[in-house]
Amino acid sequence: MPHPTGKRLIEVRAYKLKAGTGAEFNRLITTIALPMLRAVDMDVVACGASAHEADTYYLIRAYADLADLNAQQDAFYGSDAWRLGPREAVLACIDHFLNTVLWLSPEGVEDLRRSNPMDI
């Protein structure tokens, strides 16, 4: 159920990449995965290489609520386009990842988006 005050559920996914895979991961994300996410209208707020640690990358997305997050991600990650497309190459770059979700006001989401522009 959407938050009664209009807040958005923000998912922050932090990836620890395998050593030496950063350039390939960035290429896969920027040229293939992000366009695929945008094509299904997933709200990608920000993504890129972490400024504080090598071989670390982040992806931040916004959803109406947890049910919306699960429905969108199940549909995307279960799709033939993802499974038969870049999935294996992307996963080959990832050592591990961590997801965190939190509520943020619409203004906060837009500030996060403006503060972390994507060159994609």
> What would the DSSP string read from start to end of the chain?
---TT--EEEEEEEEEEPTT-HHHHHHHIIIIIHHHHHHTT-EEEEEEE-SSSTTEEEEEEEESSHHHHHHHHHHHHTSHHHHTTTHHHHHHHEEEEEEEEEEE-HHHHHHHHHHS----
pLDDT score for 2? 63
pTM: 0.91
Choose the weakest-confidence range: 15-24, 47-56, 96-105: 47-56
pLDDT in tens, 78-102: 999 999 999 999 999 999 999 999 9
pLDDT score for 52? 86
Domains assigned to the chain = 8-115 (3.30.70.100)
pLDDT in tens, 60-75: 999 999 999 999 999 9
